Amino acid sequence: MQRICLFPGTFDPVTLGHIDIIDRALPLFDKIYVGIGINSSKDPMFSADQRMEWFKEIYKDEPKVESVTYEGLTIQYCKKINAHFILRGIRFVSDFEYEKTIADANRTLDRSIETIFLTGEPKYTSVASTIVRDILRNGGNASPFLPQAVIDTLYS
């Protein structure tokens, strides 16, 4: 059985914290789908296509990583792509409490799909897309929090 994983999120924008989680998960999985969730109740700053393009650029030399968009329940999308693992990044204890609740619900829906938590590197704990969006909206320089592919798009 191939170890296929879905790393779901909004990724609005892609940050160094997201890249840290993916890079450290690479040895664990045969395939990592970065699933950009489309949520009609959210109004993202960047289009889903732009977010997918960032991941494609960042991982252009890594065939194990593929960016996709999906709607609906994460667990249903896992079934569609034959993923038996959901990857989630944890920065703080509060993240774990929230993520565990979702993982428990997902386990109730399908016991064959396991959630894997990776803690972020300490240097990335302050990196959150919400903070980055606020910096960008207010004309600040968010470069210290962003991968080069995102910087190239925003500041070129």
- Find the CATH number of the domain harbouring 32: 3.40.50.620
Tally of structural domains, the chain:
1
What are the catalytic residues? 18, 42, 91, 129
Domain housing 68: 4-154
pLDDT higher than threshold 80 for residue 156: no
Report pLDDT for 127.
84
pLDDT in tens, 64-104: 999 999 999 999 999 999 999 999 999 988 889 999 999 99
- pLDDT score at 39: 81
Q: Tell me the pLDDT band of 155, cut-offs 50, 70 and 90.
A: confident
Predicted TM-score (pTM) of the model is: 0.95
Contact 90, 124 (CB under 8 A): no
Kindly report, residue by residue over 28-39, the tens digit of the pLDDT. 999 999 999 998
